[in-house]
Structures are given as C-alpha cells and as structure tokens.
Amino acid sequence: MKKRVVSLMLVCVMALMCALSFAGCGNKDDGKEANTGNSADFKVGVIHIGDPADGAGYSYAHDQGIVKMQKELGLTDDQIVRKINVSDGDAVATRTALEECVNEGCKIIFGTSWGYMDTMEQMAEEYPDVVFSHGTGYKSNGKNFNNYFGRIYQARYLSGIAAGLKTKSNKIGYVAAMDVTNSEVTGGINAFAMGVESVNPNAKVYVKVTNSWFSPDLEKQAAEALLDGGCDVIAQHCDTTAPQLAAQARGVWGVGYNSDMTKDAPKAHLTAPIWNWEVYYTKAAKAVMDGTWDGSNYYGGMDEGLVDISPLSENCAEGTKEAIDAAKAKIISGENKIFAGELYDNKGNMVCKEGEVISDADITGNMNWYYRTVVAE
C-alpha cells in the first residue's frame, strides 16, 4: 500500500537492483540464498499495520492472502506468526515485531506497509538467513530483501466505470490517504477518473486528502465533506470502511478498497478494487521453502489475478457489468494500457503523447499530477 514520493533516480535504482537480482538467480555458490530449512520447521511471519479481525480493509485483505497461502502450502497454524497493530511510523515497534518473528523461527517475513521498509532493510543485513519481503516501497538488496506490489490502477479504472454509470450529480468524491506527491495514491485516482470518463465524460472526481493511511475518524470526516459538496458516490484509497459507511448514512453510493465492503455498507457499496495477495504470498513462501528464492522484486497485475474488483452489488446501474467486462478483457489482452495515448493533466499540460505509454515505473514513482477531470480540494 504505501508509498511516499519516489524520484525517478530512485526508481531507476530499484530497476537496477531488480536486474542484478535476476542476474544472480540460480547461483547456489555465492552464499546469498537464505537458509530455509525444510517444510516441517518452516514458518512464515507477517506484520500488519491494523487488525485483520476487523473483517475489511487493508490488513484484512493481506491476511486473507496469508490464510490462502497457508492452505495452499499445507502449513499448520503454528507455522504462521502474525504481528498486528504495528504502526509503520514507529521504527522501534517495527523492529520489535520483526525480531519476534525471527526469534520464533520465521524463514520469510512479510511487512505489509510502506513504513516498515527502512527497518526491514536494516534487519535483512543483520539476519542474512531470513527473507524480508516488503509490501510496496522501492528498496531491495537482490538477496534476502525485496519489495512487492501490483497494477492496482487496472482495477481502479474498472471501479471508475461503476461510479461513472451510477452518479446522478456528476460529482464523485475520493477520500485519499496522501496528496498528489504520492504516486501510488495519485496513480489510482487518475486511473479511477479515466474509468469514470470512459462512460461519463461529464463527471468530475473531487479529492479530499486525510494525510493518514489508517484513520477511521479522518476518513469519515473527509467523506462527509465531499458529501456536503454534492458528491453522490464516494471512492477511497484508505484503509477502513468509514467512507462507505458515511455514504450509506447519506443514502448515496460508494466504491471501497482492498476487500469487498458490500457486507459493511450493503445499501451503498457498488464494488471495490481488491488485492488477491495469495498470488504473491504463495509464490514467495514456496520459493523460500523450496530453496529457489532469487531475491527479485514482484509487480503483478490483473492477468495474473493479483488485482481485480469485488463482485458487483445489486446497487450498480444497469449495464455496469457489460461495460466492465468489456474493459477488463481489453486490459488483460493489453489493448487498453490505461495510461497511454494523448493525456492531459488538470492544468492543461500534456502528460502523454499519442503513441506513447507511461511506464509502470513512472506510474508508481513519478505520477505527481492529477488527470484532467480531477478536482483537488
């Protein structure tokens, strides 16, 4: 989930690290591979910023991936070590949680939030026989410390179609954890707005920033401010169900994030961009277990099943399924690359030329502009 501003230089460094890690694949004599042991004593650690028991949102989605990975690999409950409510802004708490996982015998530890990155980088040097796999971010060492994320903007685009077909006011609100300087959030907003525009060129997307990844109160306040401004669909890039509950309380509609929030706001929820984290967790844990781990970074998409949208609810407008199915097929085939062709930001600047495609590296690290139909508040 969580990215701060990443310069083009840092993205290039990341790409170089990825290339170096791939170059080292299969070299069993250089001492870089983690000592993984066998499946009987294999343990997996996971550090959550929230509590998966909440039943929705970011940590819940990640933990569902862990649960499915466990089942796929035949691991027992004792082989999964969870640390919950670990603030990614607290380096001491992060280190403590990671050390507890190491001391309990974990061979691979997944850190699910942006702020764990620097501490995981440090500890990877201290514990070379343990794999530290960091969700989002940009750092890696090509050995026992990597990062993983995916093309969630593809799912954002599809969810924008649902919102664009449902709005009556042509004002769609978007509760954003971070402002335009954060490329992860900004890329999602832009893709969502492009999805909206593809079916409703008259609609605008209004953004309200909380400056927090996880804050039910701030998320609720931001959603209510957007609702007060006339928005009749509320989308989000934040961790809780608060924006969806606010939309339901006003009798309007919502697009969630991370997991299907229909059960939480059944009268409002349309769909949600979701992560199927088990796609990566199973692959990574199996590689460590088998001794085939190569230290490379991971960036998956809709074609691999890593990202998708949740089932459309009965609240969706007529024709939504057909429009989304058609768009999804084009995304998977590569016909629709989303950030391609002549594109303009909301200040009138051309940000992509006809015949060009914005790279994943720029989408995730250098997209610090809003699409032409986005209004920032």
Ranking 5-9, 151-155, 218-222 by mean pLDDT, the lowest is: 5-9
Confidence of residue 39 (pLDDT cuts 50, 70, 90): confident
User: What tokens were used for 292?
Assistant: 């085939």
Residues 6+ apart with CB under 8 A from 63: 46, 48, 52, 82
**Identical fold, 8-150+276-304 and 152-272+310-376:** yes
Sign of CA dihedral 316, 319, 323, 326: positive
Please report the pLDDT score of residue 91 as a whole number: 97
Please report the pLDDT score of residue 24 as a whole number: 36
User: What tokens were used for 56?
Assistant: 């929705």
Strand positions, DSSP E, 127-196: 131-135, 145-150, 171-176
Q: Residue 20 above 50 pLDDT? A: no
Residue length of the chain? 377
**pLDDT tens-digit map of 319-360:** 999 999 999 999 999 999 999 999 999 999 999 999 999 998
In whole angstroms, what is the distance from residue 30 CA to residue 239 CA? Answer: 41
Domain limits of the chain?
A: 8-150+276-304, 152-272+310-376
- The topology under which CATH files domain 152-272+310-376 is Rossmann fold (3.40.50)
Indicate the angle between helix axes 152-166 and 320-333, nearest 10 degrees. Answer: 160
CA 218 to chain centre: 20
**pLDDT tens-digit map of 201-247:** 999 999 999 999 889 999 999 999 999 999 999 999 998 999 999 99
> What is this structure's pTM?
0.84
Give the chain's end-to-end CA distance (angstroms, integer).
22
Burial class (CB in 10 A: 0-12, 13-18, 19+), 205: buried
Please report the pLDDT score of residue 22 as a whole number: 37
- The topology under which CATH files domain 8-150+276-304 is Rossmann fold (3.40.50)
